[in-house]
């Protein structure tokens, strides 16, 4: 019944009032509120993607790569493929011009009116700076403070997926440096460390990893806010959502620029082959040719016979 009612409201009146007719005054006990949340959470991401407040450019080619890189294991051949693919997209000039689409709003943290281009308050100032940096494109419709919180589900999903993928790439690059698969082109390219040689110090990759952990954590904060308050329309929840969202996109943007500078063809790092990796690849070829020994069997069990 809940699903049918949501479909009816979406198809009849758009997403303007898609809150099931249940406001904070209608829900008087936690049991009923949690039942409504469980019923709507399962379809909230798919259903309310029509009402996305923020979206990335559809023509950014790495969208599909971002969705699956975190599922790939850190194997030699596979990681090299991921690295080359990422380098291609990180060198794309459109990366620094990602679109930031934000619908107008009124609230305690600031106002924004796309028709006149005016902003006020803390959020208005932060959004204006972000828009200038990203060459943002703003929509023209102004939403009231009580716009549906459920429309944020798809945005949080995008943020978390991109953060996980960037974290995976940075983690792989840090492993490559430790294994000797990646090295710096110049000897004095970065500051030295007391523990790590300056030519093999992946501190910028570690910076990306730290930023992505913050993004994943902030996405969890927004998600928990939606789970407990998605059927209520309060100023505090909107403030948490909007301020955290701007910060998350800022972290993502900074991390993309760091990886772009580090992994581009003119960047500091290059992929190299080591003696250990060459010997391991030779054993893998012997396994594929049917030359099996105890060591070969261990390699085959680790990598599988179908991988080259």
| DSSP result, 42-110 | HHHHHHGGGG-S----TT-TTHHHHHHGGGS---HHHHHHHHHHHHHHHT-GGGGG------BEEETTE
- Is 8 inside any structural domain? yes
Q: What average pLDDT does the structure give for the chain?
A: 56
Q: Mean pLDDT over residues 165-172, rounded?
A: 77
Q: What angle do CA 140, 144, 148 make, to 5 degrees?
A: 100
Q: Smallest Cα–Cα separation from 166: which of 219, 204, 209, 202?
A: 209
Structure tokens at 243: 């301020």
pLDDT-based confidence at residue 22 (cuts at 50, 70, 90)? very low
- Is 230 inside any structural domain? yes
- Is 304 inside any structural domain? no
- Is 114 inside any structural domain? yes
Q: Mean pLDDT over residues 200-216, rounded?
A: 83
Q: Mean pLDDT over residues 157-184, rounded?
A: 74
- Please give the radius of gyration of the chain, using alpha carbons only, rounded to the nearest integer: 24
Residue 88 has pLDDT above 70, yes or no: no
Lowest mean pLDDT among 2-6, 189-193, 204-208, 269-273: 189-193
Q: Smallest Cα–Cα separation from 286: which of 277, 278, 296, 276?
A: 296
- Is 153 inside any structural domain? yes
Residue 247 has pLDDT above 70, yes or no: yes
Percent of the chain clearing pLDDT 90 (strictly above): 0
Q: What is the CATH number of the domain that holds 53?
A: 1.20.200
| Whole-prediction pTM | 0.48
- Is 9 inside any structural domain? yes
Query: Given this model, what pLDDT does residue 182 score?
Result: 74
Query: Given this model, what pLDDT does residue 109 score?
Result: 46
- Is 78 inside any structural domain? yes
**Most trustworthy range by pLDDT among 75-84, 148-157, 192-201, 234-243:** 234-243
What is the domain count for the chain? 1
| Main-chain dihedrals φ then ψ at residue 73, nearest 5 degrees | -75, 160
Q: Mean pLDDT over residues 74-96, rounded?
A: 50
- Is 67 inside any structural domain? yes
Q: Smallest Cα–Cα separation from 42: which of 3, 13, 5?
A: 3
**Domain span at 105:** 2-271
């Amino acid at each position: 019944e809940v699903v049918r009612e949501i479909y009816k409201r979406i198809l009849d009146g758009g997403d303007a009032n898609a809150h099931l007719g249940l406001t904070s005054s209608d829900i008087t006990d936690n049991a009923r509120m949690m039942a409504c949340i469980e019923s709507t959470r399962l379809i909230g991401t798919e259903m309310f993607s029509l009402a996305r407040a923020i979206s990335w450019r559809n023509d950014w080619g790495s969208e599909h790569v971002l969705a699956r890189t975190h599922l790939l294991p850190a194997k030699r051949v596979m990681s090299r493929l991921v690295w080359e693919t990422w380098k291609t997209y990180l060198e794309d000039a459109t990366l620094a011009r990602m679109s930031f689409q934000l619908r107008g709003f009124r609230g305690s943290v600031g106002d924004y009116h796309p028709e006149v281009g005016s902003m006020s308050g803390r959020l208005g100032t932060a959004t204006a700076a972000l828009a200038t940096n990203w060459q943002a494109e703003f929509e023209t419709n102004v939403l009231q403070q009580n716009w549906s919180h459920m429309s944020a589900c798809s945005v949080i999903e995008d943020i978390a997926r991109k953060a996980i993928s960037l974290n995976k790439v940075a983690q792989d690059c840090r492993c490559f440096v430790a294994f000797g698969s990646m090295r710096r082109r110049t000897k004095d390219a970065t500051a030295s460390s007391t523990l790590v040689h300056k030519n093999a110090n992946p501190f910028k990759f570690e910076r990306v990893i730290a930023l992505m952990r913050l993004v994943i954590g902030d996405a969890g904060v927004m998600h928990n806010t939606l789970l407990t308050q998605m059927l209520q329309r309060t100023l505090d929840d909107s403030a948490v959502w909007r301020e955290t969202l701007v910060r998350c996109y800022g972290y993502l943007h900074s991390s993309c620029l760091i990886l772009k500078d580090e992994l581009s063809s003119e960047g500091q790092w290059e992929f190299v082959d080591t003696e250990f990796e060459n010997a391991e690849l030779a054993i893998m070829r012997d396994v594929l040719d049917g030359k099996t020994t105890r060591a070969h069997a261990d390699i085959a069990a680790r990598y599988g016979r179908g991988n080259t």
